[in-house]
Amino acid sequence: MCHRKHALSRISTVRPWRHWTKSRRTARRSSAAPSNSSSRRWARMSIDSRTDGSGGRVGPVIFANERARAQLEEHGHVLTFRTSDRTTGETHVRYGRTEPKQYDCEIELVEHTEERRTIYHRMAEFYHQAGFDGPSEWERAIEEFHGEVPEEGWFYRVTIAEEDRTGPVDQPEVRTDGGAPDSSGGSLDRVMVDIETLGLERGAAILSIGAVRFGPGLLGDQYEGHISLSSCQEAGLEIDAGTLEWWLDQDEAAQAQLTKGIDIRQVLRSFSEWYGDADEVWANSPSFDCELLEAAFNAVDMEAPWDFHEERDFRTVKSLPVAPEVEQDGVEHDALDDAMHQAYIAAAALRRLEGHRWDDDEVTAPAGGPP
């Protein structure tokens, strides 16, 4: 919504969350040296980055933390965060470096990021898969052993081998790698959008657009675009004095949005191309985000990439009992952060609704009504 705290001055059709560069991974692996204090560094769980020399299997996964063990044993998989790269593939689990083997398992890379902001996003999305009660608890565990949340990090998923499972492996409620959460597959035909503005009425200047594709149990790729204030004025979009005063009372990082960004035509064109032929556009609420965006498109003689009947209100889904209560740990008043947070809640709620099987007698008709 409006009153945003932080933004970047670039447009980016953000890479999928499995983005990875093989040459970088190889270079880091060859240059990384094992630390003598590695058992302390991995507060949550420790993963030995050495191979066994055969080239066929990788080093063991070390779970010294009881909650990590419980997550793995109860659900069949656990998510872990590392500050350095490691090899992936088939290996085994130990509960200590000198402890015996517990399970065969497979470790896979979920995401590598070089942005601290993205690490916060993933902690908010993954904490329940990592065995924590909330993202803040995961953050404190990282800070305890690293001093602060690092600029760069790797997220890995460890899954117990089928022959060692005592029950079926739970599927993550929301997959953030674009993969289907179950065998039925899924589609990313919905877009959650959020904007930062300099006013609350139709025709207000827009500073930034954040969007993410999603579906039941799925989150896909992201979009982020930042618009220059001068180009908004040239297009005839208006600046609300009260909103501008609010911006001027914020810190330097927030105020930087007022002087950054590129031409509004370029941003809206790139956003429309990224949006493509999505079936639905979601916002909190469409009467604000969608209407102000449509006004901006009209101001530069362009059309919004959706029809009015494709608009959906996130507030309706958020109010349902099936919607999870997820703390937002991202940057406050940031278009992409808000869009990602909203999309996660909507994706989880839609998956829960999809999994419900309605019976004919589940809805009771009023007396005298239809049978």
* 315 shares a domain with 257: yes
Q: Is the pLDDT of residue 57 over 70?
A: no
Contact between 223 and 269 (Cβ < 8 Å): no
Average pLDDT value over all residues in the chain: 75
For residue 263, tell me if it sits in a domain. Answer: yes
CA distances from 87 to 29, 50, 62, 149, 321 (A): 8, 8, 14, 22, 41
* 270 shares a domain with 319: yes
pLDDT classification of 358: cutoffs 50, 70, 90? very low
Q: Give the pLDDT confidence score for residue 266 in this predicted structure.
A: 95
- Ranges of H-type helices in 61-189: 66-75, 116-130, 135-146
For residue 2, tell me if it sits in a domain. Answer: no
* 271 shares a domain with 133: no
CB atoms within 10 A of CB 255: 14
For residue 196, tell me if it sits in a domain. Answer: yes
pLDDT classification of 203: cutoffs 50, 70, 90? very high
Kindly state the tokens that stand for 72: 């793995």
Q: Give the pLDDT confidence score for residue 54 in this predicted structure.
A: 40
pLDDT classification of 210: cutoffs 50, 70, 90? very high
* 249 shares a domain with 148: no
Q: Give the pLDDT confidence score for residue 356 in this predicted structure.
A: 52
* 99 shares a domain with 245: no
Contact between 72 and 106 (Cβ < 8 Å): no
Edge-first strand listing for the sheet containing 311-313: 12-14, 218-226, 206-215, 190-197, 280-283, 311-313
The separation between CA 162 and the C-alpha centre of its own chain, rounded to angstroms, equals 28
3-state secondary structure of 269: helix
Q: Is the pLDDT of residue 38 over 80?
A: no
pLDDT classification of 175: cutoffs 50, 70, 90? low
Provide the whole-model pTM.
Answer: 0.54
At 311, give phi and psi (nearest 5°): -75, 140
Distance CA 164, CA 151 (A): 36
Q: Give the pLDDT confidence score for residue 146 in this predicted structure.
A: 77
Q: What angle do CA 326, 331, 337 make, to 5 degrees?
A: 65
For residue 371, tell me if it sits in a domain. Answer: no
pLDDT classification of 176: cutoffs 50, 70, 90? low
* 212 shares a domain with 127: no
Work out the average pLDDT over 117-143: 79
pLDDT digits over 254-313, tens only?
676 777 789 999 999 999 999 999 999 999 989 999 999 999 999 999 999 999 999 999
pLDDT digits over 59-115, tens only?
888 876 677 788 888 888 888 888 888 888 888 888 777 778 888 888 999 889 888
* 191 shares a domain with 149: no
